Chain A
Amino acid sequence: MTKSSGANRDAAEPRPRRGEAQEGASNLRNPLARVLGQGSAKEGVHHWWVQRLTSVALVPLTVWFVVSLLSLPSLDHATVVAWMGQLWTAVFLILLVLTAAWHSQLGVRVVVEDYVHGSGAKALTLALVTFFHVVVAVAGVLAILKVALGGAV
């Protein structure tokens, strides 16, 4: 109880967890209650949480997209434009592009952090990855809006 000065850092963590953590693999996770908005972990937790949120959203969005695409009678311009002219198609496509870009950015980021060494090279690569994803997301959304609003003739 009175042990170390380090105890303050995670004062919000219920003490019994300490012992539990040794028991089995199932305690290696970070329970949401323990990590949400606490201490220096904020950034990492935000990343972790957004990666999960986008994963969950991408399950229906990607399945919808693949099924819709394969269900189209053809991929000629008129057919695709008519499809994208439907309100909900445009809504789901925009959500798909934004969510996929966000999820991809977080995923590629982790890979860069793990495999690119040297702080300069790492920072530069991360900046490029972010810019690139923003460009992809903006271009995708704008293209969808243009078609949906009747601008693609």
Chain B
Amino acid sequence: MYRYTLLTSITNRATGIVLSAGLILLVYWLVAIASGASAYHHARAVLSLGVLKAIYVILLATFSYHLFAGVRHLIWDTGAGLERAQSKRSAAFVVIASLLLFVGLAWWALHAGGHAP
């Protein structure tokens, strides 16, 4: 019935789990900074591994999606936008907006100065 809702909700969960893993990475980075310049130097070598670069791309994509999908859920909580047609439209909006944000952020990350971590 609410096929779009089902799909977008599942994706919101999945991206949430990925972002939880991203939180571990964030805290690892923070702890590395706190551990001093030489420890940070080693951590940076780890953080710039190819695998992790792929993970940053995934994190940017999941962040973009989870942000818009989350706001959509918050709007639903007010009782607005729950009609079938509205929900279909907002699903399309979430997908398009998150794609645009992802592309924008990825472009920025690529062009930011000195930023291969």
Interface residues, chain A, with chain B CB atoms under 8 Å away: 24-26, 28-29, 31, 52, 55-56, 58-59, 62-63, 66, 70-78, 80-81, 84, 93, 97, 100-101, 104, 107-108, 110-111, 136, 139-140, 142-144, 146-147, 151-153
Q: Are B30 and A143 in contact (CB under 8 A)?
A: yes
Please report the total number of B residues contacting A with Cβ < 8 Å.
39
| Contact A152/B79 with A55-B70, A74-B113, A104-B16 known, Cβ cut-off 8 Å | no
> Interface 1/0s, chain B 16-39, versus A by CB < 8 A?
110110011011001101111100
User: How many A-B residue contacts, CB cutoff 8 Å?
Assistant: 111
A27 to B16 CA separation, bound complex (whole angstroms): 27
Would you call the interface of chain B mostly helix, strand, loop, or mixed? helix
Of B23, B77, B114, chain A has the most CB atoms within 10 Å of the CB of: B23
Residues in B whose Cβ lies below 8 Å from that of A144: 30, 34
Q: Are A136 and B17 in contact (CB under 8 A)?
A: no
Q: Are B82 and A77 in contact (CB under 8 A)?
A: no
Q: Are B27 and A29 in contact (CB under 8 A)?
A: no
Within 8 A of A (CB), among B52-87: 63, 67, 70-71, 73-74, 76-77, 79, 82-84
